[in-house]
Structure 1
């Protein structure tokens, strides 16, 4: 593999912004890739994948390189050299990475790989928390799976096309996909590529959405003509799926505290041809109270630690702090206790997170069911989705019905 100096320097610049300035990895990579229009798909792929992998294994590479935070550019080059040696890449004769003790790097890697917190490159507190929550066997398998690169999965927009038709159109554009057994509207890319520049995407024929996330819409058991509230809609990935399942019939109210996210949802809805979505910003508690007892279905896709989606947000494990878990579980409880009041008698409520921790999941649901606010609800179904078992993001879903 021939290394190009400008690509490696782009990786170092990106890592400096992520590790030293605390910027989000996905935003940094997006910005970095726009720096040079001459870069082709292979160049862009090298920058994105190398940066993500170094973010993913930051602790391991830093330990082997014998550097500590805050990282200087010299430290980052040493970490990059570790990455290159472990990948079997011949190091170039650059002053920034000389000398590099390759034999010692491989020896330290073999030694540290026997210890899970180094092998999977996670903070001590998170490793201890995961083992306590899930048990040693499941946590070991799960954190290993969450360190693998995520698949690119598309959700067919059934408001505009069918799975066979989309598959053919993408193939004509040179994009090879395959269906995923058990996932009705999903197509998985055989090779990573930029699907956003394709005509089918511009025409609103699909959205990029992980297979686990696609299970939520069907789990809520929506039907055309009913009133559905997506209480934490964000930019609307699940909202758009619900609109398709409702066949554009009925009312789909998309709530969020961030108006800018709802504006993005409006833009996506226009492209998708989803006409039954009504975005409403939560500017006060009045917005929620007006909907009390009126919804056939309510989806609470609660804010969470995001531990189930570390594969696509690897920098999250470095930004997370133990105190955040206490803060977010309090927020989840408040949202569940308040927003559940929007469900009418006989209606259904789905509580969902992209976390794998019991504190954010079943403990929240069972606490709610035992409370005054949850006394009229019965648990119908519960799903724990683990990356180590499904191959996709980690999720939790609980479906309740109001008597």
Structure 2
């Protein structure tokens, strides 16, 4: 493999911004890829994939390189050299690359690979938390699966096309896709490609959405003509899916505390032809209190630790702090009690997270059902999704029904 200096330097720049400046890896990569417009798909792929892999295994590579944060530029080159040696890539004769003891690197790798927190590159506290929550066997399998590169999964926008027509349209544009059994609207890309430049994307034929995430809207059992409230809509991935399931009939109120995210939802809704979405910024409690007792369906896609989607956001492992877990559990506790009041008698609600921790998931639902606010609700069904078992992001969803009285 021939290494180009400007590509490796771009990786080092990206690592510096992610590790030392605290920026998010996905935003960093978008920024770095704009440095040179002459880079082709292979060049861009090298920068993105190398950066993600080094973020993913930061603890392992740093331990082998014998460096500690904060990392100066020479440290980052040492870490990159470890990555290259372990990939079997011949190191270039550049002044930035120190003489590298390849045998010692491989020996250290073999030694550290016997210890999960190094092999899978997780902080001690996350390792301990997840072992306690899931058990040794499940956590070991799960973190291995979560360290794999996430696949590109598309969700067909049925407001504009069918899955079969979408496959053909993408094939005409040179992109091969495969259906996924058990996921009615999903298509998988066997080979990565930039789907955002396709005409099919510009025409709103699909959204990029993990297969697990696609199950959440389905779980809510919406019908055309209903009033549906998506309480934590964000940029609207699930709102857009709900609009399609509602066939643009009825009212879909998409709420969020961040107005900037709702602006992105509006833009996406225009592209997708989703006309029944009513975005509302939660700038006071009045916004949701006046909806109490009025909705046929309510989705609470609650803020969470994101431990189920580490494949997509590998820097979560390094940015997450122990105190945040307790803080977000309290936020979830309050959200489910407040937003559940929006459900009308006989209506249904889904509580969902992209976490694998029981304290954010089934424990949270059990606590709600035992509370005064949850006394009129019953648990209809729940689903726990693990990357190690299903092959997609880790998720939790619970469908609850409110008594008709």
Determine whether 1:290 maps to 2:290.
Answer: yes
Question: Pairwise mapping of residues 218-257 of structure 1 onto structure 2 (< 5 A)?
Answer: 218-257=218-257
SS in 2 for 1:274: coil
Identify unmatched segments of 5+ residues in structure 2.
Answer: none
Give the match for residue 398 of structure 1.
Answer: 398
1:118 aligns to 2:135 (yes or no): no
Distance 1:170 1:101 in 2: 47
Counterpart CA distance in 2 for 1:194 and 1:151 is 12
What is residue 149 of structure 1 aligned with on the other side?
Answer: 149
| TM-score, normalization by structure 2 | 0.99
CA deviation digits over 1:183-239, x for unaligned, max 9?
Answer: 000000111110000000000000000000000111000010101000000000000
- Residue 53 of structure 2 aligns with which residue? 53
Is 2:291 the partner of 1:300? no
Q: In the alignment, which residue of structure 2 is the partner of 1:387?
A: 387
Partner SS state of residue 348, structure 1: strand
Structure 1 runs, 4 residues or longer, greater than 2 Å off: none
Q: Aligned partners of 2:95, 2:137: CA distance in 1, in Å?
A: 44
> Which residue pairs with 2:175 in the alignment?
175
Name the counterpart of 2:68. 68
Q: Residue 223 of structure 2: SS of its match in structure 1? A: coil
Q: Distance in 2 between matches of 1:336 and 1:389?
A: 28
1:96 match: secondary structure:
coil
Listed one character per residue, the Cα deviations across residues 244-270 of structure 1 (whole Å, up to 9, x for unaligned) are 000000110000000110010000000
Secondary structure of the equivalent of 2:6?
A: helix
* 1:96 Cα offset (Å): 1.2
User: Which residue number in structure 2 is paired with residue 351 of structure 1?
Assistant: 351
Report the RMSD for the aligned CA atoms in angstroms: 0.4
Q: Distance in 2 between matches of 1:152 and 1:319?
A: 24
Q: Match for residue 21 of structure 1?
A: 21
Report the counterpart of residue 12 of structure 1 in structure 2: 12
Q: 1:180 offset after TM fit, Å?
A: 0.2
Q: Could you report, residue by residue, the CA deviation over 1:162-190 in whole angstroms, capped at 9, with x for unpaired residues?
A: 01111001001010000000000000011
Counterparts of 2:338 and 2:312, CA distance in 1:
31
Q: Distance in 2 between matches of 1:299 and 1:231?
A: 6
Q: Counterpart of 1:324?
A: 324
Q: Which residue of 2 aligns with 1:132?
A: 132
Are 1:309 and 2:312 an aligned pair?
no
Report how many aligned residue pairs link the two structures: 403
Does structure 1 residue 162 correspond to structure 2 residue 177? Answer: no
SS class of match (2:16)? helix
Query: How far, CA to CA, are the matches of 1:341 and 1:254 in structure 2?
Result: 16
Instruction: Report the 3-state secondary structure (helix = DSSP H, G, I; strand = E; otherwise coil) of the residue aligned with 2:150.
Output: coil
Q: Corresponding residue for 2:84? A: 84
User: CA separation in 2, counterparts of 1:392 and 1:151?
Assistant: 8
Q: Distance in 1 between matches of 2:270 and 2:20?
A: 39
C-alpha displacement of 1:345? 0.4
1:364 paired with 2:344, answer no
1:264 & 1:98 partners in 2: Cα distance?
A: 45
CA apart distance, 1:98: 2.0
1:190 aligns with 2:196: no
- CA distance in 1: counterparts of 2:80 and 2:63, whole angstroms: 12
Alpha-carbon distance in structure 2 between the residues aligned to 1:258 and 1:128: 33
Q: Tell me the distance in 2 between the aligned counterparts of 1:9 and 1:288.
A: 49
Query: Within the alignment, does 1:264 sit opposite 2:264 as a pair?
Result: yes
For structure 1, which runs of at least 5 residues remain unmatched after alignment? none
1:22 and 1:256 map into 2 onto residues whose CA distance is 25
